[in-house]
Amino acid sequence: MATANPTVQSAGPISGSRSFLSKLREGDEIARLITFIFAATVVLITVALVYELWTSSVLARHKFGLHFFVSEAWDPVLDEFGALPFIYGTLVTSAVSLLIAIPLGIGASIFLAELAPPRISDTLQFFIDLLAAVPSVIYGLLGIFIVVPMMRNVIYPALNKPFGFLPIFKGPSYGVGMLTAGIVLAIMVIPYIISVSREVLLSVPRDQREAALALGSTRWESTWKVVVPFARTGIMGSVFLALARALGETMAVTMVIGNTPKIAASLFAPGYSIAAVIANDFTEATGELQTQSYIELGLVLFLLTFILNGLARILIIVTTQKGSKVSN
Amino acid sequence: MKRTAVLLMAVLVAGGLVWAQGLLINGAGATFPYPIYSKWFDVYHQKNGSLQFNYQSVGSGAGIKQVTEGTVDFGATDGPMNDEQLKAYQDKHGSAILHFPTVLGAVVPTYNLSGVSGSLNFTPEALAGIFLGKITKWNDPAIAGANKGVSLPAGDIVVVHRSDGSGTTYVWTDYLCKISDEWKSKVNKSTSVNWPVGLGGKGNEGVTALIKQTPNSFGYVELIYAAQNNIPYGTVRNAAGTFVKADLKSVSEAAAGAAKDMPEDFRVSITNAPGKTAYPISSFTWLLVPSKIQDNAKREAIKGFLTWMLADGQSYAEQLSYAQLPKAVIEKEKKAIAKVQ
C-alpha cells in the first residue's frame, strides 16, 4: 500500500497533463480558451460600463444621494437635478408600448406560425425582419408626420370624449406626448415580438399538436391550449427583448414625447424619457454637476433595465415551474 | 491579389506621409456658426495647402469643456464663458482663454396661426408673458394691442422651446432676462433652463416641425434657419420702442450699438441693444483661443487664421445669412490677436 501510494498520486498529474497536451494538439483546449475569452469580454464590458458610470457620477451621487430618485426638479441654472420625471416617462411609455404590442405581436405570430400557409408566412416574415431593421429615426419621422396629427385629430377625440373623466385621458392634447411615444414604440417593438415568437412557436414539436388533435381538440384549441403554453417561455423572452428596446429607445421617443420633464397623470401630456434627455442635453451641459447628473441618469437607466430583466427572469422561472407542475 | 495589396499599402503609406506633413488644428464647439466655420476652414485650407482645420460641431457646452480639458486647440461657443468657467480654465492651464467674436446671429419668434398671413408684432411683455405661462390666449390684449387689425384666434397658445441645450436658447433666455425681472428671478439664462411651460423640440428642425404640426403654437428659432426654410417670423419691439424685423442689417445694428462700450474680453451680450433700428434678440458667436499656445506652428496658424477671418473672411458671412462684425469690433479684435502667445 505504502509503495502503491506515490504511483497513484503521480498518475493523476501525468495523465492529466498528457490529456491536456493531446487536447491542445487536437485544438479543443485552444477553442475552449478562445471562446472563454470571448464570453468573458461580455462580463468585462458590463463591469467596465457600471464602473465608468459609477465613478463619473460621483459628484452628483454625493450631492443628491437617494433624493435623486424622488426629486422632480431639473434646473440647470440652479444646479438642481432629480430623476423622477424621467424614470416615470421611461416606464410609462414602455408600459404603453407593451400593452399595445403584446396582443398584436403575439396574435400575429400565432397566425404566421400556426394558421397561415407557409408561403404567406415566409413572405410576411421577410417584411417583419425588414421592419425590425429600420433605423429608429425613421420611426420618429413616421411619428411626427403621421402619428402626431392622427393623435390630435382621431385618437384624442375618440378617447377624450367618452373616457375624459379618467385621469389618464384628461386634459388637452398637443399631438406629442407620452401616449404618442408609446404608440411609436409599440410600432417599433412589434416586429421583435412577432419574429422571435414565431420562431418559438414553429419549434414546438409536432407531437404536441398531433396529440392534442388526436384527443379531439379543434385546431384553435390545439394552438391556444397546447402550442402557445408550450412556447410560453420563449414568447415571454420576446416580450422582454421588446421591453429592453422600448426602455432604451432614444431618437424616435425624443421626436414625439414632447420633451418636458413633468409628471402628469394624463397620457396626452408631454413627458420625457431618460435616454431622450441624455441624447438631447448631454453635449451642451454647462457645469460639472449637470454633466454628472446625466451620467447618473445613465446609471439609473442601467439599474432600471437590470431590475426589470431580473424580474423577467423570476417570472419565467415561476411560470415554468407552474407549467411543469400542471403537466405532471 | 498580392500586387494589389502591395499597391494599396504603398498608397496608404504615401497618404500617411502627406498627412503627416500638413499641420492639423482641431476645434470643437457651437453648431450655430458651423456652416460659416466650415466654409472658412475650407477656403483657408485652399489658400494655405499644408494647413488643415478640423472642426467638430458638438455644441457650445462641449466646446468649452473640450478646450478647457485641452483635447482641442480651440473652442467655439454661442454664449460667452462665465466667470466660473474662466477660472476653471485659468486653474488648469495657468493662463487665460480669449474670446474672439466671429459673426452675428439672431433668434426670431415664430408661430403657426391659421388665417394670419402677415408678420405679427411682439412686445417684450408679450414674449415674456407667453414664455412664463401668464399669457395663454392668442387674443390676449398684450398680443392684440400690438397687432391692431389682425383677427387673432381665441385658442390656447402652445409654447414650443428647444429640448436640447443650445446657444439659441441661451440668446433667447438672455433676452428674456433683460426685459423681465420675473423671468430673471424664476428661470434665468442658460443653454437649457427649467421651462415654466411648453413642449420641447430637438434642434431648430425639431422646433419647426412641432410648430408646423401644432395649430396655435409659438416658439423661437435661429434667424438663419427661419430664413433658409421660409418660416414666417414676427417683429419684436426693441429698446428704442420700434418694432424691428430681424435681418442682417438690424442685427449688425445691434452689434454696432454695443461696440462702443465693448469690454476688453469681448464677453458682451447685445440682446435688447439700444439703437433705433437694432434687432433686440441678437448675439455674437465666439471662438475660444488659449492665450498660451506652446506649439509655434499652431500658434502662428491660429493667429493667421484669426487675422484672415477678420478681413477677407467676413465677406463670406452674408451669403450664408450671418451678419458681419461692425468695423469697430474688428479693429479691437485685431489688437487682441497679439495677446495670443
| ipTM of the shown complex | 0.75
Length of chain B: 341
| pLDDT tens-digit map of B124-146 | 999 999 999 999 999 999 999 99
Q: Rounded distance, CA B147 to CA B139, Å?
A: 10
Kindly state the DSSP code that residue B277 receives in the 8-state scheme: T
Q: Which of B163, B173, B202, B217 is the mutation pick for testing A, counting most A CBs within 10 A? A: B163
Question: How would residue B5 be classed by pLDDT, with cut points 50, 70 and 90?
Answer: low
- Please name the amino acid found at residue A314: I
**Do the Cβ atoms of B113 and B152 come closer than 8 Å?**
yes
How high is the pLDDT of residue A326?
45
Q: Is the pLDDT of residue A309 over 50?
A: yes
Question: How would residue B13 be classed by pLDDT, with cut points 50, 70 and 90?
Answer: low
**Residue B266, Cβ neighbours under 10 Å: how many?**
17
Question: How would residue B282 be classed by pLDDT, with cut points 50, 70 and 90?
Answer: very high
Cβ–Cβ below 8 Å for B200 and A270: yes
Kindly state the cell numbers that stand for A244: 429592453
Q: The cell 402628469 sits on which residue? A: A264
Q: Rounded distance, CA B24 to CA B19, Å?
A: 9
B192 contacts chain A (CB < 8 A)? yes
Q: Is the pLDDT of residue A199 over 80?
A: yes
Q: Rounded distance, CA A152 to CA A146, Å?
A: 10
Question: How would residue A4 be classed by pLDDT, with cut points 50, 70 and 90?
Answer: very low
Closest CA to B30 of B63, B69, B67: B63
Q: Is the pLDDT of residue A5 over 50?
A: no
A77 vs B contacts (CB less than 8 Å): 187-190, 193-194
Nearest CA in chain A to B190: A77
Secondary structure of residue B289 in the 3-state scheme: strand
Q: Is the pLDDT of residue B7 over 70?
A: no
Q: Is the pLDDT of residue B16 over 60?
A: no
Q: Is the pLDDT of residue B302 over 80?
A: yes
Closest CA to A232 of A119, A109, A124, A147: A109
B235-237/B121-122 β-pairing: parallel
| pLDDT tens-digit map of A262-298 | 898 999 999 999 999 998 888 777 778 888 999 999 9
How high is the pLDDT of residue A10?
46
| pLDDT tens-digit map of A79-110 | 889 999 999 999 999 999 999 999 999 999 99
How high is the pLDDT of residue B11?
57
How high is the pLDDT of residue B260?
75
| pLDDT tens-digit map of B89-119 | 999 999 999 999 999 989 999 999 888 877 8
**Looking at residues A206-210, what average pLDDT do you find?**
90
**Looking at residues A248-261, what average pLDDT do you find?**
91
Question: How would residue B14 be classed by pLDDT, with cut points 50, 70 and 90?
Answer: low
Kindly state the DSSP code that residue B81 receives in the 8-state scheme: P
CB-count burial class (<10 Å; 0-12, 13-18, 19+) for B21: exposed
Nearest CA in chain B to A251: B202
Q: Is the pLDDT of residue A325 over 50?
A: no
DSSP string, A206-224: HHHHHHHHHTT--HHHIII
Q: Rounded distance, CA B126 to CA B109, Å?
A: 11
Q: Rounded distance, CA B154 to CA B164, Å?
A: 30
| pLDDT tens-digit map of B181-231 | 999 999 998 888 899 999 998 888 889 988 988 889 999 999 888 888 888
**Looking at residues B317-322, what average pLDDT do you find?**
86
How high is the pLDDT of residue B74?
94
Cβ–Cβ below 8 Å for B190 and A76: yes
How high is the pLDDT of residue A8?
46
Q: Which residue spans within chain A are E strands per DSSP?
A: 74-75, 80-81
Cβ–Cβ below 8 Å for A283 and B156: no
The distance of B31 to chain A (nearest Cα, Å) reads 11
Question: How would residue B17 be classed by pLDDT, with cut points 50, 70 and 90?
Answer: very low
Q: Rounded distance, CA A119 to CA B35, Å?
A: 52
Residues in A 242-281 with any Cβ partner in B closer than 8 A? 254-255, 258-260, 270, 272, 276, 280-281
Q: The cell 402652445 sits on which residue? A: B158
Q: Rounded distance, CA A128 to CA A189, Å?
A: 11
How high is the pLDDT of residue A61?
92
Q: The cell 397620457 sits on which residue? A: A267
CB-count burial class (<10 Å; 0-12, 13-18, 19+) for B19: exposed
Q: Rounded distance, CA A198 to CA A238, Å?
A: 10
Nearest CA in chain B to A152: B214
Secondary structure of residue A274 in the 3-state scheme: helix
Kindly report the three-state secondary structure assignment for every residue of B227-272. Answer: HHCCCCECEEECCCCCEECCCHHHHHHHHHHHHCCCCCCCCCCCCC
Q: Rounded distance, CA A63 to CA B338, Å?
A: 43
Q: Which of B176, B192, B204, B208 is the mutation pick for testing A, counting most A CBs within 10 A? A: B192
Helical axes A84-110 vs A232-248, angle rounded to 10°: 140
| Average pLDDT of chain A, as a whole number | 87
To the nearest 10°, the Cα dihedral for A247, A248, A252, A254? 90
How high is the pLDDT of residue B237?
94
Cβ–Cβ below 8 Å for A77 and B190: yes
B192 vs A contacts (CB less than 8 Å): 76, 281, 284
- Please name the amino acid found at residue A98: L
B158-162/B97-112 β-pairing: unpaired
How high is the pLDDT of residue A89?
95
SS3 content of chain B, % helix, strand, coil (to 5): 45, 20, 35
Q: Rounded distance, CA B157 to CA B136, Å?
A: 5
The distance of B128 to chain A (nearest Cα, Å) reads 18
Length of chain A: 328
A59 contacts chain B (CB < 8 A)? no
Q: Is the pLDDT of residue A232 over 70?
A: yes
**Looking at residues B62-66, what average pLDDT do you find?**
87
How high is the pLDDT of residue A328?
37
How high is the pLDDT of residue A192?
93
Rg (CA), chain B: 22
How high is the pLDDT of residue B40?
94
**Looking at residues A297-307, what average pLDDT do you find?**
93
**Looking at residues A207-227, what average pLDDT do you find?**
91
pTM of the full predicted structure?
0.81
Q: Is the dihedral of CA A250, A251, A252, A254 positive or negative?
A: positive
**Looking at residues B299-328, what average pLDDT do you find?**
90
B139 contacts chain A (CB < 8 A)? no
